[in-house]
Every structure is written in C-alpha cells, then in structure tokens.
Amino acid sequence: MKKVTVKASQSYEVIIEKGILSRAGELIAESFKPCGIMLITDSNVSPLYADKAKRSLEQNGFKVSTFVFPAGEESKNSDTLVKIWSALASVPLTRSDMIVALGGGVVGDVSGFAAATFLRGIKYIQIPTTLLAMVDSSVGGKTAIDLPEGKNLCGAFCQPSLVICDTDTLNTLPKREFSCGMAEVIKYGMIDRPIIFDLIKNGDIDDTVFECVSAKRDKVEEDEFDTGVRQLLNLGHTVGHAIERLANFSLSHGEAVAAGMAIITRYAVKEGLCPKEAENKLIEALNSFDLPINTEREPAELAKAALNDKKRRGNSITLVVPMGIGKSELIKKHPDELEEIIRLGY
Ligand code: NAD
Ligand code: GLY
C-alpha cells in the first residue's frame, strides 16, 4: 500500500493500492466513527463498483444511501447539484455524516461541491476510478460545477477527508479515458518530475499514480488557494481549455490539454526557452497514448476563447512555459500577446 499525506488546511491521506475498494469501509472506519454516508456515483461506474463499495461500508457500520446521476460532463451542472442537495436533505444527512464520491472527475467535482455547501459543509471522501481523477482531480480540494457560460465557473476549495485509489478499477476504463489521464500524468513529467517519463514506459501504474499525487501534494501544500506555484499544474490548460470549449466538448479535457502542452512547448522551443529534445520527448510520449499534438482551430479564435477563461487576472495572463523536461515556469504576458504565442506554437 502506498500513501501520500497532504497537509493543507485539512490533512488527509491518499491511499493507492490494487483491489483496495473492497476494503474502503475498513479504511474509512480507521479514522471515522460509523455515520450516515451518501455514496454518489454515475451511471457507468454504479453497475461496476457501487455494490462493492456499499457492501464494504455497511460491513463496517456505515448507513449507506446512494445517488446515481447520468455519466458525463453534461451532468456537472446546477441541476445535478440541486438533486444531490435534495437527496442529502431527504435522508436526512447531518453534519456528522459524509459523502463518498465514487467515480471520475465529474463525480468528484460535483460531489465535493455538494459537500462544501450542504449544511455549510460536511465531510467527503474521494474514491477516484479514472486515471485523471486519481492523479489530479481527487487531490487538492478544487470542487466545481459548469455553467452554460463555461466550465468550472462555480465552485469552492474544500479538501477531502481521505482519498482511496484502487488502481484495479482502471482495468474497466475505456482506452480513450485512460489516455486522457495520461495527458495529466505527462504534464507532471514536464512540470517537475522527469522520472514520470520512465515510469510510463516501464513502471507499475501504482508507482505512476504515487509520483503524480506526490507532485500535486507539493504544489497544494505550498499554495492551496492557487495564487502561485499551484498554477504550474495548469501547463497546457490555457490553450487546452480554449480547444475544449471550441470543440464543444467533443474533445475530452485530457486530449485538449495534450494539444495545449504541445503548442506551448513548441512556442518555448521557437523562442529559445526550451531545448528541442524536450519537445521531442513530450511529443513521443503524447503519441504513444494517441493523444493530439495540435488543433485545426485558428490562433485568433483560440486566443479569444482562452482569454474568457476564469484564470485571467486583470490585464495580464499567466502562462506555464516549459523550460525543459521537468522544469516549467510561470510567465506573465499581456493578453494581446497570446495569439502570436499560439501561432508560434502551431
Ligand atoms: P469523467 O468523470 O466524466 O469520467 C470519464 C468517463 O469514464 C465517464 O463516462 C465515467 O462514467 C467513466 N468511468 C469512470 N470510471 C470508470 C471505470 N473505472 N471504468 C469504466 N468507466 C469509468 O471524467 P474524468 O476524466 O475522470 O474527469 C474530468 C473532469 O474532472 C472534468 O470535469 C474536469 O473539469 C475535472 N477536473 C477537475 C480537477 C480538480 O482539480 N478538481 C482537475 C482536473 C480535472
Ligand atoms: N488541476 C489543477 C489544480 O488542481 O490546481
């Protein structure tokens, strides 16, 4: 069993092990008294894993209710959030009860936001079942829903109380979803963990998840509320979010981030900030998981879409620019420069 402890405004452990879902109840009972639990999951994950999770929780004295919503990004909205609040209120769950989010980033983000807001805040535990959720969204306490105007526009920082990663659940993940998670894994390799490029070729998946979670832990501990170094985790995201948005979400988050990383890296190479070998290594890794390395969208429309992103502050944008493998920096630019930056990165 591998463990990473995250010491943020609330300390918690991320536990990584194959087959650990059947022991979820036991692990939660080590730190929490028997209480009511709302197990929240989606329509794909429910038939695969909800019974196993529920059985383990009940065997350890928890009283479990279940809420299942239709799988997909389309469900990460206010409608689902209100339905979850109503389900919590009609059990009813109290402040000593908790939510368990079983699924990918969509389940984790909306369940976390429900936990942050119901009764002004109850505990929640993440049991991520996608690679993306294991290495990124389940850790760090960013919770959110989308609005018609854009992704993740409403949310709260709210750290989970425990994260349980059963890497065996990745065996049922569609290949495309696994690749999307790999885009985030490769992102950590580019930011500050070059070893990840070796692990994705030869390593065990538990080692890969452990390394990524450790990298994320470092950024979250230093900058929980995302005003400094945590922004390095947005490598590829400025352009990636624009690609995702213009593709009307027919491209997944991971695929868009992959193309965004490739574009900003090519820009850095052309500007003499990053060696060409780093670009080659990145492109080789992205290709090996069939991830996109460019987009057909015009730089002007990408820049416009990117500048609508919520991460923009006043009259400057912060870009994450690779300086080599395992080394990226935050660089402030004027918004008017973005179109040319993207053009150079094509
Ligand atoms: P997702 O939750 O939609 O899961 C992808 C698909 O895989 C879904 O159809 C889901 O039902 C299915 N699935 C999940 N686990 C499965 C399994 N083990 N076997 C078979 N199918 C399974 O998407 P995601 O890629 O996990 O997460 C994307 C979301 O995460 C986006 O909304 C993004 O904004 C968010 N996100 C949040 C953070 C954060 O810090 N909070 C970070 C990155 C991404
Ligand atoms: N996924 C980026 C972050 O958690 O900050």
For 233-254, the DSSP string reads GGTTHHHHHHHHHHTTTSS-HH
pLDDT (mean) for 245-250: 83
Residue of higher predicted confidence among 251 and 2: 2
Q: Taking Cα atoms as reference points, which of 227, 224, 241 lies closest to residue 157? A: 224
Residue 311 has pLDDT above 90, yes or no: no
SS3 (DSSP) at 199: helix
Helices (H), 118-152: 131-132
- What is the whole-number distance in angstroms between the Cα of residue 197 and the centre of ligand 2? 20
pLDDT value at 320 more than 80:
yes
Tell me if 70 sits within 8 A of 85, measured CB to CB.
Answer: no
Lowest mean pLDDT among 55-64, 105-114, 235-244: 235-244
Distance from residue 194's CA to the centre of ligand 2 (Å): 19
Query: Smallest Cα–Cα separation from 207: which of 129, 126, 257, 215?
Result: 215
Mean pLDDT value of segment 270-293:
97
Best mutation site among 132, 139, 157, 261 for ligand 1 pocket (most ligand atoms within 8 Å of CB): 132
Mean pLDDT across the stretch 211-219? 98
Question: Which one has a higher pLDDT value, 32 or 315?
Answer: 32
Which token pair is 290? 């069939």
Report pLDDT for 250: 83
Q: What count of Cα atoms within 13 Å lies in the side-chain half-sphere of residue 214? A: 14
Mean pLDDT of 90-109: 98
Q: Which residue has the tokens 């994320």?
A: 216
Over pLDDT 70: what percentage of the chain? 99
Residues within a 6 A CB radius of ligand 1? 42, 44-45, 48, 71-73, 76, 103-107, 109, 129-130, 132-133, 136-137, 140, 142, 151-152, 169, 172-173, 177, 180, 253
Give me the pLDDT at residue 105, please: 97
> What's phi and psi for 266, nearest 5 deg?
-60, -40
